[in-house]
Amino acid sequence: MNNVKDKMLFIDPAVGMKPPPFTHDPLKALVVPRPIGWISSMSAAGVVNLAPFSYFNLVSGDPPCVIYCPTGDHADGGAKDSLLNVQETGEFVCVLANYALREQMVLTSKHVPRNVDEMALAGLTPVPSVKVKPPRVGESPAALECVFRQTIELPPGRRPERNYIVMGEIVGIHVSEEIVVDGKVDVRRMRPVARLGYDEYAVIDDVFAMPRPD
């Protein structure tokens, strides 16, 4: 390989995220695509909360674990519902959004008062989970029932708000028969949406396989 890039731009987050020629913070456009965990949780009073998180990923298959990161505060002040509820009740469901649900997914990120059920707001169907109390979204082709295991606070950022990693263990996996072909999940049938930078998204429609060298 001899295509070494010799005109690199360097950004020091401690100095600023938009040095010339940038007009927008490029970081979230670089680490892409980010899967979206659509987190369904429930307060102790039984109010459902649904919100998308692209600081989200599967971090282990055995034990099966996911993380998501509530960053910043709720518009009314204090931590976001997706953090408070999970710390309060110890459970959440990570719904996987696909292209058909993209508008509803974005709608559920709306800043609404704490007692508003975003699943109802978006006209989605709550379907009871098997092992946890928060419902899954009936229209979604896949969902992961999770038990809350740990919160990690991130180092202080440029804003005064606090930021967290929430880690959960998957205790139940729902997969629609519609996306299973020959014993495998067919990602072309699932059509997951992923977050890119700015207000851009991607849909997975095209895949290629590469066997490992050994």
Ligand X SMILES: Cc1cc2nc3c(=O)[nH]c(=O)nc-3n(C[C@H](O)[C@H](O)[C@H](O)COP(=O)(O)O)c2cc1C
The footprint of ligand X (CB under 6 A) covers 36, 49, 51-55, 69-72, 74, 80-82, 106, 109, 111, 195
Indicate the residue among 49 and 140 with the shorter CB distance to ligand X: 49
- Alpha-carbon distance values, 208 to 34, 94, 186, 198 (Å): 18, 26, 12, 27
Give the neighbor-by-neighbor strand order of the sheet with 142-153.
48-53, 37-42, 91-96, 142-153, 164-175, 64-68, 56-61
Q: Tell me how far, at minimum, the Cβ of 213 lies from ligand X, in Å.
A: 34
Nearest alpha carbon to residue 94 among 120, 128, 68:
68
- Residue 19 C-beta: closest distance to ligand X, Å: 25
Contact residues for 77 (Cβ-Cβ < 8 A; gap 6+): none
Q: Toward ligand X, which CB reaches closer, 51 or 142?
A: 51
- Residue 147 Cβ, how far from ligand X at the closest point, in Å? 18
Q: Toward ligand X, which CB reaches closer, 81 or 91? A: 81
CB of 56 to ligand X, least distance (A): 6
Q: Which is nearer to ligand X, 52 or 168 (CB)?
A: 52
Nearer to ligand X, 139 or 183 (CB): 139
- Kindly report the backbone phi and psi dihedral angles of residue 187, in degrees, each rounded to the nearest multiple of 5, phi listed first: -65, -25
In whole angstroms, how close is the CB of 152 to ligand X at the nearest point?
14
